[in-house]
Structure 1
Amino acid sequence: MEIGSLFGADSQFHRFFNDPRWALAMLRATVLEAAHPQIGAALLDNSTFVAHPWRRLRNTLVSLQRMFGTDDAVREREAARLNRLHARLSGADVQNRPYDAMDPEVRAWVVATLFESSVTMCRLSGQPLDQDTMEQLYAEFRAFLAALGSDAGHLPPTVPEFWVYYDRMVEEELENTEALRIILYRLFDHLPAPPLLDGLPTVWAASRALAGPVIGTITVASLPEPFRRRAGLPEVPGAQTLMQSIYLTAGLARFLPDNWLKTESLTNLLYLTPDPSPDGDSHAATLTALRGRMKRAGALFRLVTPFPAQREPADGTTPLRSAGDFFTAVLDQTGDGYLDWPDLAAMARELASRLDLDEPEETKLYNAYAAWWRELQAALDIDGDGRVSKDEYAAAVPSLAGPALIRVAEVLFDVTDADGNDFIDAEEYRALFRTAFRRTLPGAEARYSRSEFVQDFLSFMSGRRSSTAFDPLLAGA
């Protein structure tokens, strides 16, 4: 069977992709990935999953759609992009053990967790896969690995051999890593609101307080028992029953109309904004009404719950953040409390993903950020530990609009200006910001000049001024 025949709308993967249970399976797979020492170390050092989990989720889903789509050219281009991204992720963990995101055995384990968790979600929800379906799904995931340019031989050739491999990995390779503990015990407790609920902290806090512990409990309960025992993960009374009940309930969604649960539609909904689009999209009015109802619900929650009052900024204001708030919201992309190269690399990675850049534009953007990091490190790293703490940043009260940051703004403008006419038009603006123009620009042919763009970017990055365009891009969850 050729690789191409294993992808597309008729694949088993696409059937699962729009299945609500797959959200639970993806979370479970992520935990199993984080339990691998190399992957756990790479996540801690480079990933934005703590500070920007919704952004990470959306990017992952978009990437999977491209890789499993029908267009071979799109798949090859996405594979090349992923390989460039992963080639930049290497280092060592706290025990000085090296990690490399291009390690073929590590990549094989990532794919293995996706396959195994898909099989497990069906079993836990009372709909186990038959052997033919399981073998088809396994062939698709091995083809996915091969499409990345990795040797599919790092996964066993048959399903029976896979289970031997999987059991060995669980027994011998997985650890109770810090990344795993963060996902299970910190992420759900501090999960930031998705963009749709941004500005409605009380509604989100109440929802998270109810759902967070349940999600954590059922995720732990779904992990392989030998690993739970060896890692010392807690056994919560009734967790197995709760887990199976939730999987069964999610499985009932298969009886809903197909167009109700399209993963792409649901993830796009998270990123809708109330700004009108140039083509008069009616989603804006619907979202505005929805947010109005949520705000009224939030007011009710504040009356009947003990959550502390949250101050919401007045519409139309652009308040200055404190240096500490700016550091946390914008500069510390990985959420580890420090500013170092992985934080700025994460900014470059998100911008390159938004704009779907190829070489050499992608490398130009990374190089501009690397030069800015060297400038920041020289100016702010007082104790010489190779990173900048929040205190170092706040104490310096820096003016960040140096030559390197100006170069970042110039390069970002150049790669956003796809047609090279020295203006950013509405379509190019949406590619970067995912919104219509959030600026007051006259006329139907609204355009964003180079000088305006650079000025706004520098004002945001150096003046710590809130921006309705740049906040969702660099500070949003």
Structure 2
Amino acid sequence: MTTGTTGTTDAAPLFGPESHFQAFFDDPRWALAVIRATVLEAAHPQVGAALADNSTFVAHPWRRLRNTFVSMRRMFDPDPAVREREAARLNRLHARMSGSDSRGRAYDAMDRATRAWVVATLFESAVTMCRLSGQPLDQDTMGRMYAEYRAFLAALDGDADELPEDVGDFWRYFDRVVEEELENTEAVRIILFRLFDHLPAPALLDGAPTLWAAGRAVVGPLLGSITVASLPEAYRRRAGLPEMPGATTLMQGAYLSAGLTRFLPDGWLDAGAVLETLSLSPDSDDPRARTVTALRARMKQASALLRLLTPWSGDTGPEPAPSATTPDTGVTGAAGEGRRSAEEFFRQVLDQTGDGYLDWPDLAAMARELATRLDLDEPDETRLYDAFAAWWRELQAALDTDGDGRVSAHEYATAVPSLAGPALIRVAEVLFDATDRDRSGAIDADEHRALFRTAFHRNLTITNGTYDRSAFVGDFLSFMSGRRRNTPYDPLLADA
């Protein structure tokens, strides 16, 4: 494969632990760079429309972040088979995303030029990250890193022809797209002015909404200001994004501070471990769960103290009732299995994209998350999507009273339907078959962990160490139609 750079060699592999891309995964600066790159991606009309219609980044940002991180790890795995399998999965996922934006312009997530722009934003943001943190890349290193990003695009599209071959030509390409194609899209406005201000708490901090809201009220605007200040001036001017006084100094200080972590011993920072810890549920059997449970208790105490000392007026909602789950046993009592209201179930479970409506992208997001958890290949993945599509048709026929092609929260709450129709039963059966990888007719402990990322609990109907079809289908239907809390499906479909 041609590197497309001058002064670089093919001595070191473009993928794997020796790549520059891989080295950024555990770099705190990369978090700032990825936010910046995401805004530049969302500013492209095609990407912005696809995100607004299909993405779960508003309602389930932590889940989306974790899945993206895992995917990028796979795409830069040293094993070509791992990369090829992940590229095929991503291509199947993107092939299901097409439509039109609010101005009637068509978008297609498989558009090659658009996919090239996504990769371009990652490369340019990585270069900018190094420059802003006081560690600018020399030309050889920059050329080498550009070859890695072009190889990433080639792994997805079969070639990297949509990006210039030479890194010098790349900057002219990048400036042209910024000046001629980017817009102040709805997705950009959501990221900058809604997501940061209303970011839901990760599972670790879910028990302390007051404390989370207080911290978010300070950090959210700062992140927004830092991100806007780091964007290309041509785009800020084109999009009419105001730069707050002092934001440039704040942005440079943030990148410089994050860059100081390079002096920490190797291995001290592990982004994967951080994301896993943030997403742990309190009843997980992971060895870190006991620490997480203790941290949750501390967070609740701090949150209660904050409410006593500071009259907080944010819309945090009440502190959740204590769970009846016993940390040591995972046995869930009746208090922990309360029912959600119809409105709460609609918001937390059904409306996966967070736009206030239930439509096909929401159910497709559920299918996508389940297929990702189980790491499904064809044809199991297609069977799962088809089952969810049939369920959507059933829901639409029953609940879409005004005929606008989607179901509003009011339509859902007014009908208060029993969702356990034939199509939903079929979804449960297909999910069971996909989870039962050895086709034994029952889900064993390893298969259960693959889907739920936790071991069997005594509140499940387990026989001889397995979870049979009828019990699995019954529990799934109970969650989806009965709106029960504290089931294994909560962290799967309801958590942020």
Which residue of 1 is the match for residue 19 of structure 2? Answer: 11
* Residue 176, structure 1, aligned to residue 184, structure 2: yes
Distance 2:391 2:445 in 1: 28
| Contact 1:368 1:411 survives alignment (8 Å) | yes
Aligned to 2:63: 55
Contact kept in structure 1, 2:461 and 2:467, CA below 8 Å: no
Contact 1:275 1:436 in 2 (8 A): no
Superposition pairs of residues 57-456 of structure 1, within 5 angstroms: 57-275=65-283, 277=285, 282-307=287-312, 310-316=318-324, 317-440=336-459, 446-456=465-475
Q: 1:198 to 1:438 in 2, by over 3 A?
A: farther
Q: Pick from 458, 470, 474: which aligns with 2:489?
A: 470
Instruction: Measure, in 2, the Cα distance between the counterparts of 1:425 and 1:97.
Output: 48
Mapping of residues 15-54 of structure 1, within 5 Å: 15-54=23-62
Unaligned runs of at least 5 residues, structure 2 = 4-11, 325-335
The CA deviation at 1:259 is 1.5
Of stretches 187-196 and 149-158 in structure 1, the one that deviates more from structure 2 is 149-158
> In the aligned structure 1, how far is the partner of 2:21 from the partner of 2:50?
26
Gaps of 5+ in 1: none
Deviation at 1:13, TM superposition (A): 0.6
Moved more, 445-454 or 361-370: 445-454
Q: Secondary structure at the match of 1:395?
A: helix
Contact 1:460–1:467 (CA<8 Å) still a contact in 2?
no
Specify the code of the residue in structure 1 equivalent to 2:475: D
In 1: Cα distance, 2:449 partner to 2:266 partner? 28
C-alpha deviation, 1:442, in angstroms = 9.0
Indicate the SS of the match to 1:193: coil
User: Deviation string for 1:196-228 (max 9, x for gaps)?
Assistant: 112221221111111101000000000000110
Q: Is the 8 A contact 1:441 1:447 kept in 2?
A: no
1:285 Cα deviation after fit:
2.2
- Specify the SS of the correspondent of 1:336: coil
Q: Deviations over 1:172-199 (max 9, x none)?
A: 0000001000000000111000111122
Alpha-carbon contact 2:207-2:296 (below 8 Å) kept = no
Would you say the 8 A contact 2:42–2:185 is kept in 1? yes
Give deviations 1:291-336, integer Å, cap 9, x for gaps.
2222221221121222256231231221111111111111000001
Mean Cα deviation higher: 418-427 or 376-385: 418-427
Q: Is the 8 A contact 1:318 1:465 kept in 2?
A: yes
Change (3 A) 1:443 1:473: closer
Give me the whole-angstrom Cα distance separating, in 1, the residues matched to 2:246 and 2:481. 52
Corresponding pairs, count: 474
Q: Is the contact made by 2:277 and 2:292 (CA closer than 8 Å) also made in structure 1?
A: no
Counterpart amino acid of residue 87 in structure 1: A
Give the 3 Å change call, closer, same or farther, for CA 446–202 of structure 1 in structure 2.
farther
Kept after mapping to 1: 8 A contact 2:461/2:471: no
Q: Is the 8 A contact 2:390 2:423 kept in 1?
A: yes
Give the Cα separation in 2 of the matches to 1:447 and 1:288.
27
Once structures 1 and 2 are overlaid, which stretch shifts more, 367-376 or 464-473? 464-473
State the alpha-carbon separation in 1 of the partners of residues 2 and 77 from structure 2. 15
**CA–CA separation in structure 2 for the residues paired with 1:30 and 1:438:** 39
Q: Which moved more, 1:35-44 or 1:422-431?
A: 422-431
Cα offset for 1:444? 11
**1:2: how far off?**
6.9
Letter in 2 for 1:283: R
* Larger mean Cα displacement after TM superposition, 124-133 or 297-306: 297-306
Q: Distance in 2 between matches of 1:201 and 1:433?
A: 25
Letter in 1 for 2:385: Y
The one-letter code matched in structure 2 to 1:437 is F
Answer whether contact 1:438 1:468 (CA < 8 A) is retained: no
Structure 1 residues 462 and 441, CA, compared in 2 at 3 Å: closer, same or farther? closer
Conserved? CA contact 1:371–1:404, under 8 Å = yes
Q: Quote the Cα distance in structure 2 between the aligned partners of 1:190 and 1:212.
A: 8
2: distance between equivalents of 1:439 and 1:30?
42
Q: CA deviation at 1:412?
A: 0.6
Query: Which string of whole-angstrom CA distances, capped at 9 and with x for unpartnered residues, describes residues 48-107 of structure 1?
Result: 010000111001010000000111111000000000000000000011100000000000
Cα RMSD (Å) = 1.6
Equivalents in 1 of 2:415, 2:296: separation in Å?
Answer: 39
After TM superposition, the score normalised by the length of structure 2 is 0.93
CA distance in 2, matches of 1:210, 1:431: 37
Identity value in percent: 71
Tell me the distance in 2 between the aligned counterparts of 1:59 and 1:439.
Answer: 29
Deviations along 1:388-437, one digit per CA (max 9) or x if unpaired, are: 11111111111110000000001011101111111112211111111222
Shift of 1:274: 3.5
Q: CA deviation at 1:165?
A: 0.1
Q: CA deviation at 1:150?
A: 4.1
8 Å CA contact 1:185–1:216 kept in 2: the answer is: yes
User: 2:457, 2:346 → 1: CA distance?
Assistant: 24
